[in-house]
Amino acid sequence: MGIAGQSALITGGGSGIGLGTAKRFAADGCHVTICGRTEDKLTAASAEIAAVATQGASVTVIVADVTVEEQVIAAVSKATEATGKLDILFACAGGSMHMGPIPDADIEGVRATVDLNVIGSAICVKQAALAMKAGGGGSIVLMSSGAGHFPHRYLWAYGISKAAIDELSRYAADELAVDGIRVNSVQPGIIDDELMSFITAGGALLDDYLEQTPISRVGTVEDVAEAVRFLAGPESSWITGEQLAVDGGHHLRRGADYGKLFG
C-alpha cells in the first residue's frame, strides 16, 4: 500500500492546496511534477517539496497553462519521465474571475472562470487518461468546491464551474474504469491559503462561514492534501465517481453569503 515510486502530476502546484499536496506526495516517496503559469513560483515551491521528500522521491517543474492543450500535453509528458508512465493526476489549478449579482454579470469574467475551471480540467482529464491507459491505469482527483455543491450567494460563476467539475468526475469515472482509471473530486470548504486569504484574514464573511460550519474552524491545506492522498492512492482502490467534502460539515448547512463582502 502506498504511492512510493509512482509518478504524479499536480496542476496549480506552485502554491496553496496544490503545493501542500505535492509535499504530501513527495513525503510518501512519489515522483512529483508540478505545473503552473509562473516559473518563479514553481521554482520556490520545488525547494519546499524537496525539503520534505523522502529518499527515492523526485520533484520536477514545468510551466504550463491548463487551458492550452499543447502545454498540458507537455506537462503530462514531463511527469512520465521518471517512471515511464503517469499514475496520479491532481487537477488543482483553478480560480474565479467573477463575483457578484447575476444581473450585473461581467460575462467575460464568467467565461474566463468556466474556461479555467471546466475546460482546463477537461483537458487535463483527457491527456492524463491517454497516458494512464497506456500505462495500465491510474487515479485522477479533480478540484471542486463546496460552492459547486450548494449555493454560496454571489459566487455563482465559480459555483457552476465547480459543479461541472463534479459532473465531469462522474462521467469520467464511469467511462474510464474499464481502463483501470479511477476519477474522484474533492470539495473543500474555507481553507487558509493564498486564494482565500482575503476571507480568512477576518470579517463578516469569515464569521458567516464559521457560523455555518459545524466543526467551526478554518480548514488547512493539509486537511485537503490528506483527502487527495487517500483518493489518489491504493487505499481507495474501490472508490470512483465520488465527491468528497472536506469542509468541517459546512455542506450540512447553507452556503456562505458573499454579499457580506459588499457591505
Integer angstrom CA distances of residue 238 from 87, 90, 113, 128: 16, 18, 32, 20
Beta-carbon contacts of residue 260 (< 8 Å; ≥ 6 apart): 203, 204, 205, 208
Instruction: Give phi and psi for 240, each to the nearest 5.
Output: -155, 150
126 has a pLDDT exceeding 90 = yes
Instruction: Tell me which of 154, 158, 209, 258 is the catalytic residue.
Output: 158
Give percent of the chain above pLDDT 90.
98
Confidence of residue 97 (pLDDT cuts 50, 70, 90): very high
Q: What's the pLDDT at 55?
A: 93
Residue 209 annotated in active site: no
180 has a pLDDT exceeding 90 = yes
CA 244 to chain centre: 12
Count of positions (residues) in the chain:
263
Q: Give the Cα separation of 42 and 107 in Å (integer).
A: 31
CB 30 within 8 A of CB 4: yes
- Residue ranges of domains in the chain, CATH in brackets: 7-250 (3.40.50.720)
CB 183 within 8 A of CB 126: no
Sheet containing strand 58-63, edge to edge, reads 58-63, 31-36, 7-11, 88-91, 138-143, 181-188, 243-246
Q: State the residue for C-alpha cell 488547512.
A: 220
Q: Give the Cα separation of 48 and 58 in Å (integer).
A: 12
Q: What's the pLDDT at 228?
A: 98
263 has a pLDDT exceeding 90 = no
Q: What's the pLDDT at 262?
A: 86
Give percent of the chain above pLDDT 70.
100
Q: What's the pLDDT at 20?
A: 98
Amino acid at 189: G
Of the CA atoms within 13 Å of residue 150, those in its CB half-sphere come to 14
Confidence (pTM):
0.98
What would the mean pLDDT of 43-54 be, rounded to a whole number? 98
56-96, pLDDT tens digit by residue?
999 999 999 999 999 999 999 999 999 999 999 999 999 99
Three cell numbers, residue 263: 457591505
Confidence of residue 107 (pLDDT cuts 50, 70, 90): very high
Beta-carbon contacts of residue 211 (< 8 Å; ≥ 6 apart): none
CB 182 within 8 A of CB 240: yes
1 has a pLDDT exceeding 80 = no
Average pLDDT of the residues of the chain = 97
Q: What's the pLDDT at 258?
A: 97
